[in-house]
Each structure stands twice: as structure tokens, then as C-alpha cells.
Chain A
Amino acid sequence: AQSVTQPDIHITVSEGASLELRCNYSYGATPYLFWYVQSPGQGLQLLLKYFSGDTLVQGIKGFEAEFKRSQSSFNLRKPSVHWSDAAEYFCAFGGSQGNLIFGKGTKLSVKP
């Protein structure tokens, strides 16, 4: 079955520390991959996407993600986390109906 797995439900990091959020997908071919962020009380905002080409993609707010076909992964990284990065992060891939299929999300807390 097509699915997205985000194994970490909740992560806490210290401000200034590096961050990596994990995402694995199950799909028959190479999917179109996305990371979205949701702040409390808000909708989802696109951070970055991977369609083809360079497997390391840059996004907004200093985030990047790397597509690894052999591991079916698309992990999100940031070298230095800011307190404003506290939010919930969703990995997704493009479905056949033009929709997105999402993981359950990882909630990020940032310690001062």
C-alpha cells in the first residue's frame, strides 16, 4: 500500500542545535515528495519539494531535504534550529488523484 511513515511523533531539540526529521515512503515508483509545516492554529505551508534532479533540495526558512532512493527516504534537515521553528512537520508524496498523501506528522519542540 502507498504510505508515508514519520517514525518520530515528537522531537525536542535545543535552540541552535541541528535537526533531522525522518520520512520514509512506500510507493511503486519514484514519487514526487514534499515537506509541509503547520504552526498552531494554521494551515499547512510548503517548505520544499522534490520532483527530479539534484537529490538535495533547498527550501524556505533554511530547511533542506535529501532524497535517497535506496532507502525510500526523504529526511528534512536544518543546521541550526530557531525557537520559531517549533511546529508540526508533515512529509507527503503526490497521489494519482492530484492529491497529497501525508504522514502522521512530527511535532517539534524547541528548548531555549
Chain B
Amino acid sequence: ETGVTQTPRHLVMGMTNKKSLKCEQHLGHNAMYWYKQSAKKPLELMFVYNFKEQTENNSVPSRFSPECPNSSHLFLHLHTLQPEDSALYLCASSQPGHSSGANVLTFGAGSRLTVL
């Protein structure tokens, strides 16, 4: 399988549940990202990992906990979420370019999360 794969594609959870989103990339990239996509808002960067090290945490609430065990896998652990956390969560990967702004991101299809 090639590209960036996200599972599950759809998730419904209660506010007291604990669940995880998984992302896997088969592109040999060294950087991975979580973005949140809500209606009528720009995509919001949540976390960035470079070579398994977290390099960016964009003021994300602690109820979202990322994990990057290796350069190919990225998880987003979810705990005591709020209804306003319902959104499409997109994973992406990239191979760092010659300049920090020159990274071409490849996105997965997303995990649609609904919090009841």
C-alpha cells in the first residue's frame, strides 16, 4: 500500500471515551503532521514530528495526545473530548525540503470524528 493511510475513517465517541486515530505513511518521509479541519475554518495545524521528535505543538489542549513511535506511524490519542472537537482530522507527511517552507505535504483521507 502506498501513500498516507488513516484509520478509522469514521469515529463516534462519547465525551468520557478514550480512542485513538492512526496514521501510517509508506513514502519514506521523515516528517508527519496532524491537522484539524472544521467547517468554515482554515485547516489548523496541531502537531509536527520530525524524525520522531515533536517540533511543534500548536497550543493544542491536553485532551489530544500525539505519539510517533517511528517515522512511518503517527497516532492521536483522544480523551475526554468536547462536542466542539468534532471535525475531520487529517494526517500528512513530507520529506523535508531544502528550506523549511518548501515541504510538499502528502495527506491522508482523514478521520471524521463525532463527539456526542
> Which A positions have Cβ atoms within 8 angstroms of B?
4, 31-32, 34, 36, 41-46, 49, 51, 90, 93-105
Question: Given that A31-B101, A94-B102, A97-B48 are contacting pairs, would A104 and B40 also be in contact in the complex, using a CB cutoff of 8 Å?
Answer: yes
B43→A102 contact, CB < 8 A: yes
B90 engages A43 (CB within 8 Å): yes
**A98/B50 in contact, CB under 8 A:** yes
Minimum CB–CB distance from B116 to chain A (whole Å) comes to 21
Stretch at the interface among B12-20, B69-77, B78-86, B92-100: B92-100
Q: A43-B90, A43-B109 are in contact. Are A98 and B42 (CB under 8 A)?
A: no
For A104, what are the chain B residues with a Cβ–Cβ distance below 8 Å? 40-42
A-B contact count (CB 8 A): 73
CA separation between A40 and B102, bound complex, in Å? 27
Q: Give the CA-CA distance A31 to B108 in the complex, in Å.
A: 24
CB pair B48–A99 under 8 Å, yes or no, is yes
Known: A43-B4, A43-B90, A104-B41. A98 touches B107 (CB 8 A): no
Given A41-B109, A43-B109: A98 touches B103 (CB 8 Å cut-off): yes
Task: Please state if A94 and B103 are interface contacts (CB–CB under 8 Å).
Answer: yes
Chain A residue contacts of B50, Cβ below 8 A: 98
3 nearest A-B pairs in the assembled complex, by CB-CB distance = A94-B101, A43-B107, A44-B107
How many whole Å from B42's CB to the nearest CB in chain A? 5
**Contacts A102-B42, A102-B43 hold; do A96 and B100 have CB atoms under 8 A apart?**
yes
